[in-house]
Amino acid sequence: MNNEFEAKALQAHEALPGERPLLRADSPERVVVWRHGEPVRADVFLAHVRQVRSCLPPGSCVVNLCEDRYDFLVAFCAIVLAGQANLLPPSRAPRAVAEIMAAHPGCHALGEKTPQVRPPGFIQMPALHAVVGDAFEVPSIPAAQTAVIGYTSGSTGHPQGNGKTWGSLHASNAGNLDALREAVDGDFQLVATVPPQHMYGLEMSVLMPLLGSASVHAGRPFFAADIAAALEQVPAPRVLVTTPVHLRTLLAGGVALPPLAAIVSATAPMPVELAQSAERACGAPLLEMFGSTESCVFDSRRTTAEPLWTLYPGVRLHPQPDGTRVEAPQLPAPVTLADLVEVPDEMHFRLCGRNTDLLEIAGKRASLGDLNRRLLSIEGVEDGVMFQMEGDDGLRVRRIAALVVAPTLDMATLMAQLREMLDPAFLPRPLRRVGSLPRNETGKLPRRALLDALKS
C-alpha cells in the first residue's frame, strides 16, 4: 500500500458523510434485549437511553463500568448520544481504570455499582424507568464521531487505546452480520459469555443487537448450567457467542442445551478437536472469527471445514516481515498487526503465528504457540502457558517460563515429559504449578498478570 492510499483513506474517514442511526429499528416493537426472561422493546430501550443521557455531565469521554449487559448497552448509547466516547479499559481493576482515566483528563466513570476504589468523577447509573412517548424516533449520530476508545488486553505488553467512529462501527458490524448469515437467516437471539467491554464482546453482543437483526440476552453466563438457562430464556434461532476457554468449560459440564443455530468463537485459536466436539454436542456449526482491538473482526471460517480464513468484503492483507498490514472498510488507515500470514489469493489467508511468538535461543528457533500446544498435550495438565521472561540470564538469553495447572502431576514428572518433547534450550525455567492461570474475562493472559503470578 502506498502513502497516497493511506492519505485518501484517512481523509475519507475524517469526513465521513452524514449520520448513522443509533439503533436499527423500523418500529417500537422491535426486541433489542431479553432481560429477566422478558423482551425489551426498542421504544423502552430508547427511553432508558435518554434518561441516562440526561444524567451525563459535559465532557469528551466516559469510562463505561457497567457490568450488567443491558445497563452497559443503555450507558453505551447514552454516552454516544451525548456526543462523547465510551472508554473501555482492559479490565475494571482499579489500577487499570486509573491509568485510562489519567490518560483522558476530565473524563468521568459510569457504573451501576460504586467500585471499592471510587474513581474521580464517578456517576451512579440511575434506576431505569421507562417514559415512552407517543412518537417513536430513533436518534442519528454523526458518522465521524468517535464512539469508542477500546484498549488492548495487554497480553503482549502495555495496553494501547484505539478509537472507533460511529461510522466505522457500522461498517465492522456489516461484515460480522454477513458472516453470520451463512449459518442463520432472519432475526436471531444472542447469548454471550464474553463481557461487552472487550472489543469482540462489544462487536457481537452490543453492536449486533443495536445495528443488526438480532437481540441479546442481558446476562453473561459462564457455568454450563447458567449458559443453558440463558439460552432457554430466548426464542430460536439462538447463537452462542463464546471463547475456546468458555466453550471447553461448557462441554465439560455435560449439560443439555436447547437447539442452537450457530456458535461463534474468538479471542484465542480454536483447536480443531474442540470445534468438532462442540459441533457434535450442539448440532450447530462453529464460526471462528479473527480480529483485534485495532482492526475489529475482519474475517471468519468454519474451523472444522476450512483451514483457510475468508476475508470480509473490502478487506486486503499485505504480509510484512514484522506482521501483516490490514486494509478494511472500518479502518480510517491501514493497521499493522503482529500476526504472520500467508495469502494464497485475495479472499483467503493462512495464519502462521505472531512475530512475538517466534523465539531464538542459542541459535535454535521455536514458536511459543507450538510449545504451548505440546505442554497442553501432556496428560494431567489441565491448563498451562509458556512465555518468555523479560530479563536475560546474564548471557543475553531470555529464558522461557511456564505456569501449569496440574494437580495430579509432580513437577519432576512433568519436566521429564517436557524433556522428551522439547529441545533443552526451550525447557521452562522456572516451571511453576498454580491453582489457576490469571486469565481475564475473555480467557486471555495479560503479560503483567503472568509475571506477577510467577513471582507469587
Task: State pTM to two decimals.
Answer: 0.82
- What is 362-455's CATH number? 3.30.300.30
Within the chain, all domains assigned CATH 3.40.50.12780 are found at 3-353
Residues in the chain where the model's pLDDT stays below 50 = 1-15, 393-396
Nearest to 108 by CA among 165, 62, 52: 62
Q: Which CATH number fits domain 3-353: 3.40.309.10, 3.40.50.700, 3.30.460.10, 3.40.50.12780?
A: 3.40.50.12780
pLDDT at 364: 63
Contact (Cβ atoms closer than 8 angstroms) between residue 182 and residue 300: no
pLDDT at 29: 95
pLDDT at 392: 53
Within the chain, all domains assigned CATH 3.30.300.30 are found at 362-455
